[in-house]
Structure 1
């Protein structure tokens, strides 16, 4: 299977998975995206959390938090393939909601892809990858709180998606923006509980 190199390719792969049946499981999506690449997996989890049509469904932020926590944790322990428990990977969403989210994302995806390019690679390779994984673990650990604070899961989704895209495109500048979104996520949570 060819590697995902940008946001449009990821959306096309998700669209392929959504073509079959009334419900689309996380397993089906991961099979089309690939179980080996941390960037596309993060991007997928981030998009699911950021898009209000899906991320606003009760329980989705917690499920995506577990998804990110498990994959980022495995990256920290240098696993080559990501394992996820069956109960999580079999979670599914109605095909219509996936297709609605994809339609909503296609135009911005083209614009975003034009801005991406390899730069500041120290933030996306080597120790930079582990810093991203650790930051994603922190975001994922806070996801249960995001069920209580409106819009915080969307901001967290943007951070996770930006980290995923940064790894895919080897774009360290985007990784720096993702750290900004991470700070905004925690500020939103703190403001929500203040």
Structure 2
């Protein structure tokens, strides 16, 4: 029991609290094989918190050099779906199947994408602070999970429409940051971008 509490405390201490911290956690992963395993990324950022996991999905989907790899947006969509479903049913620790945890990405492309995003990430982090906090409370997070669930369902066909998957990445990133910083204004903006991305994909497919 004590070991379990210690593990929970360690997760809390290592969990990133903003965009730059999450990026540095990913960058610190040792990759002698030249590939980053998804399980290693989850170990670096923690597996218990909804916000950082959404932010991870958004960040990977947002980086053009990574999201342009065939299948990556669909992989992030599946990851988002699993996390959202487990949040909605009340799980406290998020489970992922082994085949998904063992998927890898080329470390050079991930590091290049992170380097490209550092300056805007620092600017974004300076704007974060708690406001309109009911949007990131218990009910607000459940609404966020439903919105992200819908967004994830739309992401595989987004691979067929240029740039739309990156818009979805922006929405997921903002949702993750909103929850981590208790910033309801970001949450509202993320809902608007989610609506826009769903409209764009429906317009292009119908």
TM class by shorter chain equals over 0.9
**For the structure 1 residues 115 and 25, does the alpha-carbon distance in structure 2 shift closer, same or farther, using more than 3 Å as the test?**
same
User: Match for residue 135 of structure 1?
Assistant: 147
Question: Which stretches of structure 1, 4 residues or longer, exceed 4 Å deviation after superposition?
Answer: none
Shift of 1:147: 1.7
Unaligned ranges ≥5, structure 1: none
Given candidates 104, 114, 118, the residue that maps to 1:102 is: 114
User: What TM-score do you get using the length of structure 1 for normalisation?
Assistant: 0.96
Shift of 1:18: 5.1
Question: How many matched pairs?
Answer: 194
User: Match for residue 128 of structure 2?
Assistant: 116
1:51 aligns with 2:63: yes
Cα distance in 1 between the residues matched to 2:31 and 2:181: 27
What do you get for the CA RMSD once the two structures are aligned?
A: 1.1
Cα distance in 1 between the residues matched to 2:186 and 2:143: 14
1:185 aligns with 2:189: no
1:145 aligns with 2:145: no
The CA deviation string for residues 8-34 of structure 1, in whole angstroms up to 9 with x for no partner, is: 110110111255431001100010000
Secondary structure at the aligned position of 1:103 is classed as: helix
The CA deviation string for residues 57-76 of structure 1, in whole angstroms up to 9 with x for no partner, is: 11111110000000011000
User: Match for residue 4 of structure 2?
Assistant: none
User: Match for residue 43 of structure 2?
Assistant: 31
Secondary structure at the aligned position of 1:8 is classed as: helix
User: What TM-score do you get using the length of structure 2 for normalisation?
Assistant: 0.91
Shift of 1:193: 2.4
Secondary structure at the aligned position of 2:29 is classed as: helix
Larger radius of gyration: 2
Between 1:13-22 and 1:143-152, the stretch displaced more is 13-22
User: Match for residue 91 of structure 2?
Assistant: 79
Unaligned ranges ≥5, structure 2: 1-9
Cα distance in 2 between the residues matched to 1:165 and 1:106: 15
